Amino acid sequence: MTMNAYKKKKRTFSAMGACSILMVFVVLCLTTFAILSFVSAQGDLRLTQKTQNMTERFYKADADTDGLLYFIDTILAGIRADMREADYDWRTDEALAAVDVPADMTDESAYLLISRFRITQRAGEVRGSLSVTGDDTLTLLMPITENQHIQTVLHLLPLGAPLRFEVQSRVRISTLDWE
């Protein structure tokens, strides 16, 4: 073998070595990017599932709040129907049995008192919590999660009004204590 042939063979070998190193580097880069893409996609999937779960919970709580409003409306409609009957005397209503009824109590005051009594008496039949926050105001809390609720504030309307109640506010609140 001549010296010239040896040099040609050596150059070819080093050129092939550089290509191999370059290929290994490219494969490592592509593998790294593939792993990063896979990890990123898994994170996106987890976030999407969490968002879907929270959205489902919110809309379930929203639908349950609508059901509670229907429940309250049904009770108020029944009370109004009772009060329209000619032989109905609200002074003998069970809601007023344990209360000192003033002699000058109006039909309107009796309606509000009976309404609050019957609604709170039957509040255990539905999901969520209900509290009387004023003479003619009710506050409903429907849980979304352990720390989030839909809070609805209702204003009971007078006996002669065409509607039975009015929603003053309906908001999503957090019951988490911030320290």
Q: What is the pLDDT of residues 8-55, one digit of tens each?
A: 555 555 556 778 888 999 999 999 999 999 999 999 999 999 999 999
* pLDDT at 88 exceeding the cut of 80: no
143 part of a folded domain: yes
Assigned domain for 7 exists: yes
Q: Which pLDDT score is estimated for 18? A: 77
Inside any domain, residue 26:
yes
Mean residue pLDDT across the chain: 82
Residue 14 falls within a domain, yes or no? Answer: yes
Instruction: Look at residue 104 and tell me if it is in a domain.
Output: yes
Q: What is this structure's pTM?
A: 0.71
Tokens of residue 20, six digits: 């191999």
Span of 7-16, 92-101, 167-176 with lowest mean pLDDT: 7-16
Number of Cβ within a 10 Å radius of residue 81: 10
Q: How confident is the model at residue 124 (pLDDT cuts 50, 70, 90)?
A: confident
Residue 171, token pair as written in the block: 């908001």
In a domain, 46, yes or no: yes
* pLDDT over 70 (residue 112): yes
Q: What percent of the chain has pLDDT over 70?
A: 83
Provide the domain count of the chain.
1
Cα–Cα distance for residue pair 175/146, rounded to 1 Å: 8
What pLDDT is recorded for position 95?
Answer: 66
Residue 142 lies in a domain: yes
Q: Are 67 and 148 spatial neighbours (Cβ–Cβ below 8 Å)?
A: no
Of the two residues 153 and 103, the one the predictor is more confident about is 153
In which domain, by residue range, is 161 found?
3-174
Average pLDDT for 140-169? 90
Residue 179 in any domain: the answer is: no
